[in-house]
Amino acid sequence: MAMNVEAEIRDLKRRVSELEGSFGFLTDQVKGVHRDLLAFQEKTEQRFDRIDGRFGQVDGRLDKVEGRLDHIEKSVKDLRHDMPGIVGETMREVLRERDGASRK
């Protein structure tokens, strides 16, 4: 019976050694994946920062365009308000010139 115990102990030591080796291998793999993920995260953050900067520039340009469109809209509204007076004054002037020319 003593020999069976010694054989069992050797078998258990071998199995534990195999598990320790596998665990060491997996630990190294996890460490490598963790380093890769950290590097990927850093690159991704840098890319997002660049994209965010570009969107900021585009947003600034859109704000300028919006301001210009607001200015144009106000000018068109002002022109719409002033147009009847401009046309009326022009027509009165034309009619005065025509009446003055027809009297001569």
In a domain, 28, yes or no: no
Report the alpha-carbon distance of residue 32 to residue 30 in Å, rounded: 5
Residue 8 placed within a domain: no
- Which residues span the domain enclosing 84? 58-104
Residue 83 lies in a domain: yes
Q: What is the dihedral of CA 70, 73, 78, 79, to 10 degrees?
A: 140
Domain contains 99: yes
10-residue mean pLDDT profile of the chain (104 residues): values are 80 92 92 97 96 94 96 95 94 89 70
Residue 71 domain-assigned (yes or no) = yes
Per the structure, the count of domains in the chain is 1
Per the domain annotation, does 29 fall within a domain?
no
How much is the pTM?
Answer: 0.50
Identify the sign of the CA torsion 52, 58, 64, 67.
negative
SS3 11: helix
